[in-house]
Structure 1
């Protein structure tokens, strides 16, 4: 047998081994790290998907919360895990802002993790207290221009979406507003409903009862396009072209995880998010299911990192201690 035939046979045998490995995976429980606290949306999403994977693949997918340091502790734990398909990572949108918020990250966000699938995405909402005179984004901007610093925006933490959306809003509208920081989102929303602050960018489910009760008014959503989840609500970008931002959850694995395992996981996740009951559960939370390819998630992450970098740098926000 000549050398060419030997190499060809070896390649075929190797391919067969990879296919067989993917077909038998997983042979033991799989850990899903969530670098955020229990009860948050990344955690909820991870548990829904883990339950579906447990059913479809016949092994337990176990969610483990490793919160702290802006989600970087759990992310680093995933990065440092063996790339064998038995450790996965479910991240929230902060995964794309951390490279700009931290100058001392111990991992490379784009190189040290392999994308599997973007699971869900959904807008936040710009809401105001019902007694605020502004009935639209344009009117809120005009209020802020007439009396610089008079409009009080609630924010949660320096790296939170509420803060970053507010900074993007200020930058694009060319206005000055007063930032009122809170330790938690629930306290901020209570004060917003009570009139202690005027406006906030916030997750839609958090304020739905207040919107329905007439204590808050939704002015616009942050996605580029209007959403069937909140019919009749315009986008911020209709007033400020180019304004965009969404909450999202995606699954990753350590870099160098075998591509056949990534493909198997992607196929099962896509199947899971396309089930009507799964779609309905996320729709109630004002999220749209996606089920992207690994390449699409890779592109999405790169775009999100670039999109938020300029806002973070210009505002001088850092989470380094």
Structure 2
């Protein structure tokens, strides 16, 4: 028996030596990506995250020779799609394009089925940009002052579209109501496309929207821009006043970030971060986003982590101080 064991051990040692020999072909992990990758967007088509994810997905596909497919999973302010991404295998084949409500949901929804920080691995911040206050032309207002005067003369009569019950645009409007001393009726939608459709159709009167989602409507005269939420006037909308010109410190930005399920291999996260950085530095990509009032961001996974933590703290303070709820 001892002789047999020694023989087996010797054979095993010989096999390992052969496998480790320089000339012996080594078996390596399959190259990433070896199959299509899905990017979950937790809101409806036509929103900022959707627009951004589709452009980045197309460029990633070109760079890595594999399809990157956008999958819209709207609902519950983005929490349904986020939960689906969190449950996916952490193998790099499911990614998540989050937007600004990612930082407000933990403060508004009780018992989220995921931990906003612990259950996701940051890859890169993609874009950032201001919101714009737009109205239907038939409302008969041409400035923020006109809007406020109309709202004060008709309390609750103006219907204001918001995307998701806890979106930053909704919270921004709550702050605007307090600052301006007005009362409007909130009308909640699952996606920006649906809200914009009703705004253009005259079913609602106004909304805070991202510049890319309304730019074509502004050019065609279907909507009118009253103010922008950047610290100063935007080069893309030079004739539109900054809201901070009337209400000091009233500044807010929309943003989109790319994440993966927690425990995704760090080498895959690093590979995706590097490719996204190259994409965001392409002149045509910069130009396409700049034309829509957006700034390409980029940065390291650690920088995105710090950004999300700062947004969580910022909006948490606003929600607590203003006692904002989903009701």
The TM-score range, normalised by the shorter chain, is: 0.7 to 0.9
Query: Structure 1 CA distance, aligned partners of 2:217 and 2:71?
Result: 33
**Counterpart for residue 87 of structure 1:** 94
Query: Structure 2 CA distance, aligned partners of 1:61 and 1:83?
Result: 16
Query: Structure 2 CA distance, aligned partners of 1:285 and 1:174?
Result: 28
**Counterpart for residue 37 of structure 1:** 44
**Counterpart for residue 280 of structure 2:** 273
**Counterpart for residue 3 of structure 1:** none
* 1:151 to 1:284, Cα distance in 2 relative to 1, 3 A: farther
Gaps of 5+ in 1: 1-19
1:229 paired with 2:239, answer: no
Cα offset for 1:144? 6.7
Query: Structure 1 CA distance, aligned partners of 2:150 and 2:316?
Result: 25
Matches within 5 A, 1:115-264: 115-128=122-135, 130=137, 136-137=143-144, 140-141=147-148, 143=149, 147=153, 149=155, 152-156=158-162, 157-171=164-178, 173-181=179-187, 183=189, 184-190=194-200, 197=205, 199-209=206-216, 211-212=218-219, 216-264=223-271
Cα offset for 1:174? 4.8
SS in 1 for 2:88: coil
Offset from partner CA, 1:202-254 (integer Å, 9 cap, x none): 23344445544556542221123432222243321232232222222110011
Instruction: Answer whether contact 2:280 2:286 (CA < 8 A) is retained.
Output: yes
Cα offset for 1:27? 3.5
Instruction: Answer whether contact 2:57 2:69 (CA < 8 A) is retained.
Output: yes
Query: Structure 2 CA distance, aligned partners of 1:180 and 1:62?
Result: 34
Query: Structure 1 CA distance, aligned partners of 2:66 and 2:234?
Result: 36
Offset from partner CA, 1:10-55 (integer Å, 9 cap, x none): xxxxxxxxxx989943334323222223443322322221221122
Query: Structure 2 CA distance, aligned partners of 1:209 and 1:53?
Result: 26
**Counterpart for residue 309 of structure 1:** 316
* 1:33 to 1:212, Cα distance in 2 relative to 1, 3 A: closer
Cα offset for 1:151? 6.9
* Higher mean C-alpha deviation, range 145-154 or range 264-273: 145-154
* 1:292 to 1:131, Cα distance in 2 relative to 1, 3 A: same
Instruction: Answer whether contact 1:66 1:73 (CA < 8 A) is retained.
Output: yes
Cα offset for 1:133? 7.3
Instruction: Answer whether contact 2:152 2:183 (CA < 8 A) is retained.
Output: no
* Higher mean C-alpha deviation, range 295-304 or range 39-48: 39-48
Q: Which has the larger radius of gyration?
A: 2
Gaps of 5+ in 2: 1-26
Question: How many residue pairs end up in the alignment?
Answer: 295
